[in-house]
Every structure is written in structure tokens, then in C-alpha cells.
Structure 1
Amino acid sequence: MSTSNLPGGAVVRHAAVWIAAIVVIIVMPYVFTSSSSVSMMSQMGVFIVFALSYNMLLGEAGMLSFGHAVYFGLGGFLTLHAIRAVNDDVWSFPLELMPLVGGLGGLAFGVIFGSVSTRRAGVTFAMITLGIGAMVEASANMFTNFFGGESGVSGNRVTEVTLLPFSYGPQIEVYYLIGAWTIVAALLMFLLTKTPLGRMANAVRDNPERAQFVGYSTTIARFIQFALSGFFAGIAGGLFAILFEIMTAPNVGLIQSGAVLLMTFIGGLGVFFGPIIGAVLVTYMQIALSGFSEGWILYFGLLFVLMVMYVPNGIAGVIVSHFAPWQAGLAHRFAVPYLLAIVPALLALAGLVTMIEMGYHLSLAYDPSRPIELFGIEITATSVAAWVVAVALFAAGLVALRWVAGRIRQRWGEVNQAMDAQRAKQ
């Protein structure tokens, strides 16, 4: 794997990005110093690796999997068993390299399950992965010696066998360990996209018939990509096991597989930094919303539906779409319509959140007449006036957004015409 096929300027830019990422990881704990913030950032690192591994399947090779958590979870279980074996003096292996145990476990199961699932593509492949995910999750209650039953498997990450003079008991030490593995794993996955294998995976994704016609084996390409994605998912599972010191059956289940799909799709498929954005955003929202609302899963579902309907290329896709106008010096033309969209978007969001929270309060609260506090205002869910205001805010925001969306589409048309005129002059 090398970057020899990249222009010199591109190599410098890529190197600068990776150096900046390392600096950010080093500096962040000094900016967000609380233990909860360090824990959240550690989780972000774990799920960045997990989401990037899923992007190897769906974004790079076009394989929609509903069972990717299998390799994440099995890698985590194997890592935790390996840590327990070190603590029991069964073998000796440094904690810093323990994620490799998870990675190799994910690779092994990726080879086993991939040899079956990658013989098919499209919907058939997706259904096979769904069946494998359900099968492994159901097996957790059967093989209790490995999965630990309902209580799962727990361990102690503090061992006497380490490469560096750290115990990895303090959260900050674990954060930097996860940060180092995040950089290494992400860099390896990025370099894989520049190899012939990465190009072959893209060809199989875009036009499998043509790739097969020119001599590529689409089955082998999918199989190798599948196995390697299992390896990196296993590394993420190993980091998760080190961070939380416990693994349970849901870690291999369909909910976890759905979460990584959500991260990858929201961030942006096919764009390397898209899953990174998605993992950071979804992890933050999951932690923040779970403490704010009983309906945080509903918010995730709504966000996913809206992204699929209106932003199918994800957040990264939106960012990339503005590169050409920026280079042409025309990006400033979007400032006014984008600023106009902020107010109606906030109105619609406020109305929607108010309706959802009042609905949950009416159905779950012991005393539904007790006021709830939203946006610094006490609201009575049993009040008709509160519902009328919430519906009015939501409707007014939607109407205004539709109007602003028309202005944005018009501005995009003007910008595209201007860019075409610039290219014609060249």
C-alpha cells in the first residue's frame, strides 16, 4: 500500500490532514477536561474505526450489510477473553496490542461468513448478512461460556503486561490508546482505497458486469473487502472492550449493526471522511439525547429518514458538492439563502421537539398535568394551547422552508451556469 500514484501536492495535503488529526487528538483532552468528555471522545474514536470499516463494505464496495456488528462484537468478546487470560497468567500479551486480537478474530469470522455471503450481491447479500447477525445474536444465550449469558463478559483492563509505563486505569490513558489505534486503523483503511484492491472494489460497486468483463472476479473482490472490513470492525470491538471492560449480547446484535449503518449514511457514503463525521455526530447525539429525552431513538429514526429523503449523499456529500463553487469563487452566493433557512428550520425543529416531548410526557408521566421544561419554558402537555402553538410553529417552519428551498435551488442553477461560463472561457 503506497501513495505513489498520487501527485506530490496531494501527498503533502494528505500528510498535513493526518498530522492535523494527530494534533487534534492530542489537544482535545486539554480543551474538554471533564471525565465525561474524555469518555465521550474515547467512544467517538471507537466508532470512527467501526464506521470506517462499514464504509469499506457499503461505501467502497456497494455491499449493504445488516450484520456488521457480528465482527465488532466477536472481536470485543475475544479481546476481553484474552485480557482475562493475561490476568489469570495463562499467557502474556501487552494491552496496547490487544485490539489486534479483536481484529484477527473479526478477520477469521469475516473469512468464514464472507465465504458464504459474498457469493451473492445486492438484496440477497443483505438478507444473508441479516440472517447471520440474527443467528449470532441468538447464539449468545446458547454459548454462555463464551458470551457470558445475559450478564455478558467482564474483565479488568489493568494488567501487568504493557509496552509502555502506563496502567491504563485512568480514562485519559485509555483515550490516548484509542486515539493512537484510531489514527493507525483509519490511515490503513485510507491507504487501502489507493491500492488496486480499493479500485477493484469501486469498480465492482459501480459496474460489476463491466468489471467481470475486463477480467476481475467480483466474488473474490467482495470477499477480500468483506474480510478486511471484518478485521477493522474487530479492532473497533477490541477498543470497545478495553474502554468499557464488558461485552454483552447486544454488541453483536442488529441494533448495533443499525447504529453503524446510521453513522455511515448520515456522515456520507463513499467519501472517506464521511463516516468520521457520522460517528462523531451520532455518538454525541446518542449520549446527549439519551440524557435529555425518553424519545431519543425516535429522533435518530427521524434524522435517518430525513437524510435518506433529502440528503442522500450525507453531510460529507453536501460539503464536497460545495468544493467546485468554492474554487470558482462563487460560494458566497449561497450565504443569503442559507442564512434565510436557519430561522424556519429552527421554528420547525422547535415545534417538532415540543410535540414529541409532550407526547412522551402524556404517555409516560405519572402525572401528565405536571409542566415540563423545554427551551427554558414551562409547558403543560395537557393544554390545548400548547399543542396549537407547537403545531403552528412546525407548520410555519415547514412552509417557510419550502419557500427557501426554492430560492436555494434557483441559486444553485445560477452558480452552475456561472461555472459553465467560466469553463467555456478557459
Structure 2
Amino acid sequence: MNAAVPAPARGRAALFSLLVALPLVLPLSSAGFSLLSQLASAWLLLLSVGLLVTRAGLLSFGQAMYAGLAAYAAAHAMNTIAASGWPLPFALVPLYGGMFAVAVALVFGPISVRRGGLSFAMITLGLGLLVALAAPMLQGFFGGEGGVSTDRTAGTVWLGLDLLSQRQVYGVSAAYVLLGAALLRGLDGTRLDLLARAVRDNPLRVAVSGATPRRVRLQLVLVSAFLAGLSGALQTLRLEQVSAGSLGLQQSSMALLFSLAAGSGTAWGALLGAGLMVGSESVLASVSQAWMLYVSLGFLAIVIWAPQGLSGVLRDLAHQLRARRNPDLLWGLAALLLCSALAIIGASSLVELLYAVRQQLLVGSTLRLYDVPLPIGSADVWVGAALLASTGAGLCALVWRALAPQLRRDGARE
């Protein structure tokens, strides 16, 4: 039995639901709703990763396998429904995708959950690579290089949903996001949740107490696979196309990376991670060829200085600000953000200049960065970027040296 949900938790759940539903009443463009649908799909994928990491301490490189196979299953289901004329709404296809992923997890799960830790990570990595390499050979299901196409408007109109517009697609995606959030909330405090955390901390003690760690891990893998399946099916609903690229190791690695960076064991942490992931892949990648370098450096910085994840850092800072109400702390954080921005601008300018040189641009060429024209061959530009980066980094170190003792002191008092 779950304990009664505290009032603050109910307030956060209501705020999250309002945030998910709010875009539906805003006059956004089709591209905006498409981006939000992508964000919803990424949220479910990162939630599936974070569920395994935070509850059972399992690092999975196979989430893209579940999401990708569910995406293919959803595409085939939509094509079959349209060809057969069955009166089934496509808005329910993501549920089929989630259940298909659960069926896949029932096959692969017992293999991967025999051990935890590094063994689980390596087994899921091997299974993911196996499925990705088998995709070009099984063209009947995977469709070869062209993948599988579908038409989301060929289904039955249900509750006024013909899925012609991206607004309706996001509405369906938002419903499944709320379903995932409800599933996460329903899991908190259950016997499975408590056993999974116990298996994470001491599997031998759990085994001695009468429970089976392997079975506990498998049950959590099934829940995680269902969320990943919802994510993959929603991607099919949005893109009307699925290819073998959705099964690749890069998808699983990116999901795991942003999950760990944001701390996505909660709905809000997964939302932060999904925002960073979609922003990197859709926005940052469109303006810079070095976006993967920025993502890698950012991940390294988070692992070194914020191992609890960005959501944990923000939660601790918010708690301290509410408890202490110290204006000096606010000014210190603002100064730290400003100095960090200077260092990032300087460092990114150097990176973009190096990439411009790598592309063998002419000496007299001009690089437009931050809406400022920068001549590639000018030594002043290179020296200025280096000075900006070093000055910002130095000021960050000074501000942090003055701010860190206060943060530790306030944390100790709490």
C-alpha cells in the first residue's frame, strides 16, 4: 500500500500537469508543437533510464533497443490497421508500442538481470548492438535502409482526433507523459520500489531475506521498457517514419548521458534532461558543428562538480535559498553565473575559430559568431577570445572560493 501523498508532492504533481497541458492553449506554430512532441518522447525515454539508475542502480545501454523496436511495431500496427480498415484509433497505438517493448523485455530481460552493476551494463550493450546489427538483415520487419513509413491520418477519428496537426500529436504525447508521471508516482513507496532500492544497496541481504534480486530487477526492467516503448511509438506517431538509426548505440548513450547529467529519477529531473537533450540535438546542432564537444565537456563538468545531477544541484540551492533567505548568497550565485557565461563565450569562440580553420577557410574569411563578424586571420580575435575565456575562468574560481564555504555551512546547518 502506498502512503498518503503529502501536500507538497500533490502540489508539484499538479504544477507538472499544468506545465504539460499549458502549450495546448498557446498559439504555437506547427514546428513548436513538433519540438514539444519530441520533448515529450525524450522525457519518457529519460524517465525509463532514470528509473533503472535511481531505483536499482542499473546502467542500461539498451533503452534505444526497446524504444526502437516499439517504434517499428507501432509503424507496422498503424499500417495494418489502415490496410484492414479496423476502427482502431492511432492515438492508442503508443500503448501497443509499450506492451510490445514489455514483451521484448520478457525475452531479453532474464538474460540481462542475472547480475547487476557492470555486468548488466555490458549485457544490455551487447543486446543493443545485436539488434542494431540484425536490423539490415531482417528487412521484412525493419524495412531495410529506407525503414518503415506510415500515415498517422489514415486511422479512425477518435474523440475528434484526426492527428492532422502537430497540436493534436502533442496532445496525445502530453496524455502519455501524464500517464508516465502517474506510473512513476504510483511506483513510489511500493514493495517493488523498496525492494529495488534494497537490491541496489545490498543484494545479498535481500536474497537472505527471501526475495530474489533477479526477479526484482526484471520487474523494474519491464516497467522501464514500457516507458521506453511509449517513447518510441510516440516518435513514430510524430515523424510517420522509423529507421534503423533509432536502434543505434548513440541513442542509448545520449539518453544515459543526459539522464545522469540531469538526475532524471524524478519527473522534473527527466524534464530537465529531456530539455537539454532536445536542445542539444535540435538547436545546438543546428548552429554549431562542435555541439558534441560541448555536450561532452558539459557532461564531464557535471560529473566532476555536480555528481548528483543538475536537478539535485537546483533542488539543494532552492532549499537553501528558502531556508536562509540570504541576499549575499543570491548575489554570489548571480556573479558565478555571469563569470561562467564569460568563460563559456570565450571558450566557445576559440572552439568555433578552430573549427573554422579546420574547414580550411581562407585567411580573409569572416566567421559570424553571436551575431558578431570575426575575421579568422586576425590575431586580435584569437587573443581576445583566449583572454575572455581565461578571465572568466579565473573570476569563476575566485567567486566559487568565496561562495563555497557559505554553501557548505548552510548545508551543514540543514
1:139 alignment counterpart: 134
1:206 alignment counterpart: 201
CA 1:368 to 1:15, structure 2 compared with 1: closer, same or farther past 3 Å? farther
> Structure 1, residues 338-379: CA drift from partner, whole Å, max 9, x if none?
122122211110111101111111122554531011123211
- CA distance in structure 1 between the aligned counterparts of 2:211 and 2:118, rounded to whole angstroms: 22
TM-score normalised by the chain length of structure 2? 0.94
1:104 alignment counterpart: 99
2:20 alignment counterpart: 25
2:368 alignment counterpart: 373
Name which of 178, 182, 192 aligns with 1:183. 178
SS at match of 1:322: helix
SS at match of 2:59: coil
CA contact (8 A) 2:155 2:162 kept: yes
CA contact (8 A) 1:52 1:275 kept: yes
| Residue range with higher mean Cα deviation, 107-116 or 189-198 | 189-198
Equivalent positions of 1:332-347 (< 5 A) are 332-347=327-342
1:148 alignment counterpart: 143
SS at match of 1:63: coil
2:223 alignment counterpart: 228
SS at match of 1:65: coil
- CA distance in structure 2 between the aligned counterparts of 1:64 and 1:329, rounded to whole angstroms: 37
1:169 shift after superposition: 1.2
- CA distance in structure 2 between the aligned counterparts of 1:302 and 1:42, rounded to whole angstroms: 27
Name which of 97, 101, 120 aligns with 2:115. 120
Write the letter of the residue equivalent to 1:214: S
CA contact (8 A) 2:71 2:236 kept: yes
- CA distance in structure 2 between the aligned counterparts of 1:364 and 1:190, rounded to whole angstroms: 50
2:380 alignment counterpart: 385
- CA distance in structure 2 between the aligned counterparts of 1:30 and 1:382, rounded to whole angstroms: 50
- CA distance in structure 1 between the aligned counterparts of 2:224 and 2:98, rounded to whole angstroms: 9
1:56 alignment counterpart: 51
TM-score normalised by the chain length of structure 1? 0.92
1:399 alignment counterpart: 394
CA contact (8 A) 2:97 2:230 kept: yes
1:311 alignment counterpart: 306
| 1:320 partnered with 2:319 | no
SS at match of 1:168: coil
CA contact (8 A) 1:330 1:415 kept: no
Write the letter of the residue equivalent to 1:135: L
- CA distance in structure 1 between the aligned counterparts of 2:298 and 2:411, rounded to whole angstroms: 29
1:163 shift after superposition: 2.7
CA 1:393 to 1:16, structure 2 compared with 1: closer, same or farther past 3 Å? same
Write the letter of the residue equivalent to 2:88: F
1:241 shift after superposition: 0.6
CA contact (8 A) 2:73 2:97 kept: yes
| Residue range with higher mean Cα deviation, 134-143 or 282-291 | 282-291
CA 1:370 to 1:351, structure 2 compared with 1: closer, same or farther past 3 Å? same
- CA distance in structure 2 between the aligned counterparts of 1:43 and 1:17, rounded to whole angstroms: 23
SS at match of 1:328: helix
CA contact (8 A) 1:65 1:130 kept: yes
CA 1:414 to 1:137, structure 2 compared with 1: closer, same or farther past 3 Å? same
SS at match of 1:291: helix
SS at match of 1:283: helix
SS at match of 1:379: strand
Equivalent positions of 1:234-245 (< 5 A) are 234-245=229-240
1:216 shift after superposition: 2.4
- Among the aligned pairs, what percent are the same residue? 29
SS at match of 2:386: helix
| Residue range with higher mean Cα deviation, 74-83 or 397-406 | 397-406
1:108 shift after superposition: 0.8
CA contact (8 A) 1:359 1:381 kept: no
CA 1:403 to 1:59, structure 2 compared with 1: closer, same or farther past 3 Å? same
- CA distance in structure 1 between the aligned counterparts of 2:27 and 2:260, rounded to whole angstroms: 28
| Residue range with higher mean Cα deviation, 43-52 or 407-416 | 407-416
CA contact (8 A) 2:342 2:392 kept: yes
Q: State the Cα RMSD in Å.
A: 1.9
1:319 shift after superposition: 2.2
- CA distance in structure 1 between the aligned counterparts of 2:283 and 2:136, rounded to whole angstroms: 31
CA 1:369 to 1:101, structure 2 compared with 1: closer, same or farther past 3 Å? farther
| 1:13 partnered with 2:8 | yes
Write the letter of the residue equivalent to 1:360: Y
Where does the alignment leave 5 or more consecutive residues of structure 2 unmatched?
none
Name which of 10, 35, 38 aligns with 2:33. 38
1:27 shift after superposition: 2.3
CA contact (8 A) 1:96 1:162 kept: no
| Residue range with higher mean Cα deviation, 338-347 or 171-180 | 338-347
> Structure 1, residues 233-269: CA drift from partner, whole Å, max 9, x if none?
1111111110111111110110110121122112215
SS at match of 1:98: helix
| 1:172 partnered with 2:170 | no
- CA distance in structure 2 between the aligned counterparts of 1:291 and 1:270, rounded to whole angstroms: 29
| Residue range with higher mean Cα deviation, 103-112 or 268-277 | 268-277
Write the letter of the residue equivalent to 1:34: S
CA 1:366 to 1:154, structure 2 compared with 1: closer, same or farther past 3 Å? farther
> Structure 1, residues 133-191: CA drift from partner, whole Å, max 9, x if none?
11111111110111111111111011242432221011111111111111112211221
Q: How many residues align?
A: 414
CA 1:158 to 1:368, structure 2 compared with 1: closer, same or farther past 3 Å? farther
Write the letter of the residue equivalent to 2:269: G
- CA distance in structure 2 between the aligned counterparts of 1:187 and 1:34, rounded to whole angstroms: 29
CA 1:213 to 1:270, structure 2 compared with 1: closer, same or farther past 3 Å? farther
Write the letter of the residue equivalent to 1:106: A
Write the letter of the residue equivalent to 1:77: Y
| Residue range with higher mean Cα deviation, 269-278 or 186-195 | 269-278
- CA distance in structure 2 between the aligned counterparts of 1:233 and 1:19, rounded to whole angstroms: 24
Write the letter of the residue equivalent to 1:48: W
- CA distance in structure 2 between the aligned counterparts of 1:255 and 1:170, rounded to whole angstroms: 30
SS at match of 2:368: strand
